[in-house]
Amino acid sequence: MDIITGNAGWIEVICGPMFSGKSEELIRRLRRAMIARKRVAVFKPVIDDRYSAEEIVSHGDLRMQSQVIHDAGEMLERIDWRAEVVGVDEANFMGPSLVEVAGRLADSGKQVIIAGLDTDYLGRPFAPIPDLLAQAESITKTLAVCVRCGNPAKHTQRLRGSDELIVVGAKDMYEARCRRCFEPGIPKQQEIDFVKARRREP
Ligand code: ADP
Ligand code: ZN
C-alpha cells in the first residue's frame, strides 16, 4: 500500500464476511508495525468473547493482545496517546461513534486500522463500516471461500436461530457463502432442523 507517511494519520479499513481473513490481515499489519518499532494500541469490543477475553484471535488461531472496550468512545479514554498505530477488530460491535473516534485518531496523526463485517446476515450494509469506507484512505475487501461451491464468498450465512442483528457465534452459527449460494436470513431447512432439535431437548 502506498500511503505517504509523515505525521499525517489515516484510516485503513479491512472488510468482508466472516472467515475471510480480516483478523489475520489486521494482525499481520499490526505485527509489521511492531517490527518497525512503532507503538501499537489494539482494541476489541467486549461483546466478542467467543475465544479470548484480552486478545484478538483469528479463526486460524493467530493471536494478539488487545484492550477490551464497551464502545468506541472508550478508546479515547484508554489509549496511550503516544501510540502511532491503532488497531480495531470486530468494528460492528463498536457502535456508530467509531466513525468519529477513528476520524479523531487519524486527525491526530495515527494510522488507524479497522476490521469488520461489511454486510449483515441479510446481506445489507452493516454499520458503521459503510461510513468508515467513506472516510478511509485505504480499503481492503477480503473474501472467504464458499463452503457450498468453492467460489469467492462475500456473504456471511447465518445458519440458525434468530433474527437479531447481532448474534455472536462462530462455525456452528455462521458460514461463508458466495452470492449464488447465499440465502438471506436463516435457511428454511436449517431452521426447521434447529427447532426440532430444540423440541427434543429435555
Ligand atoms: P475473519 O476475521 O474475516 O472472520 P479470520 O482471520 O478470523 O477471518 O480467519 C480466516 C481463516 O479462517 C482462514 O485463514 C482459514 O484458515 C479459516 N477458514 C475457515 N473457513 C473458511 C472459509 N470458508 N473460507 C476461508 N477461510 C476459512
Ligand atoms: Zn457458492
Q: pLDDT tens digits, residue range 139-151?
A: 999 999 999 999 9
The reply to whether 148 falls in a domain is: no
What sections of 56-161 are H helices per DSSP?
73-78, 98-107, 129-135
Alpha-carbon gap, residue 34 to 87, rounded angstroms: 12
pLDDT (tens digit, 9 = 90+) per residue, 94-127?
989 999 999 999 999 999 999 999 999 999 999 9
Which residue range(s) make up the domain with 31? 10-142
Cα of 187 to ligand 1 centre, how many Å?
21
Q: Record the cell numbers describing residue 188, joined without a space.
A: 428454511
CB 103, CB 58: distance < 8 Å: no
Choose the weakest-confidence range: 58-62, 164-168, 194-198: 194-198
Q: With 90 as the cut, is the pLDDT of residue 32 above it?
A: yes
Cα of 40 to ligand 2 centre, how many Å?
38
Instruction: Name which of 91, 72, 109 is nearest 26 in CA terms.
Output: 91
The pLDDT value recorded for residue 186 is: 84
Catalytic residue, from 12, 25, 74, 90: name it. Answer: 90
The reply to whether 99 falls in a domain is: yes
The pLDDT value recorded for residue 119 is: 97
The reply to whether 72 falls in a domain is: yes
Residue 90 is a catalytic residue = yes
The pLDDT value recorded for residue 183 is: 95
Mean pLDDT across the stretch 31-52?
86
Q: Record the cell numbers describing residue 117, joined without a space.
A: 463485517
Cα of 90 to ligand 1 centre, how many Å?
14
Mean pLDDT of all residues belonging to the chain: 90
Between these two residues, 157 and 53, which has the higher pLDDT value? 157
| Ligand 1 atom nearest to 20, measured from its CA | 3
Choose the weakest-confidence range: 37-46, 87-96, 191-200: 191-200
Residue 125: CATH number of its domain: 3.40.50.300
Query: Which residue's CA is the nearest one to ligand 1's atom 21?
Result: 19
The reply to whether 151 falls in a domain is: no
CB 40, CB 30: distance < 8 Å: yes
Cα of 180 to ligand 2 centre, how many Å?
5
Q: With 90 as the cut, is the pLDDT of residue 77 above it?
A: yes
The reply to whether 194 falls in a domain is: no
Query: What is the helix (H) or strand (E) element at residue 13, kind and residue range?
Result: strand 10-16
Q: Record the cell numbers describing residue 88, joined without a space.
A: 480495531
The reply to whether 55 falls in a domain is: yes
The reply to whether 114 falls in a domain is: yes
The reply to whether 189 falls in a domain is: no
**Number of domains, the chain:** 1
Residue in the block written with cell 456452528: 172
Cβ < 6 A, ligand 1 pocket: 16, 18-24, 58-60, 142, 144-145, 147, 176
Query: What is the helix (H) or strand (E) element at residue 114, kind and residue range?
Result: strand 111-117
The pLDDT value recorded for residue 48 is: 57
Query: What is the helix (H) or strand (E) element at residue 33, kind and residue range?
Result: helix 22-35
Q: With 90 as the cut, is the pLDDT of residue 30 above it?
A: yes
pLDDT (tens digit, 9 = 90+) per residue, 6-29?
679 999 999 999 999 999 999 999
List CB contacts of 57: < 8 A, sequence separation 6 or more.
23, 50, 51, 63
Q: Is the whole-model pTM more than 0.85?
A: yes
Between these two residues, 61 and 18, which has the higher pLDDT value? 18
Alpha-carbon gap, residue 14 to 113, rounded angstroms: 8
Question: What phi and psi values does residue 78 have, to the nearest 5 degrees?
Answer: -95, -15
To test the pocket of ligand 1, the residue of 15, 42, 59, 117 to mutate (highest count of ligand atoms within 8 Å of its CB) is 59
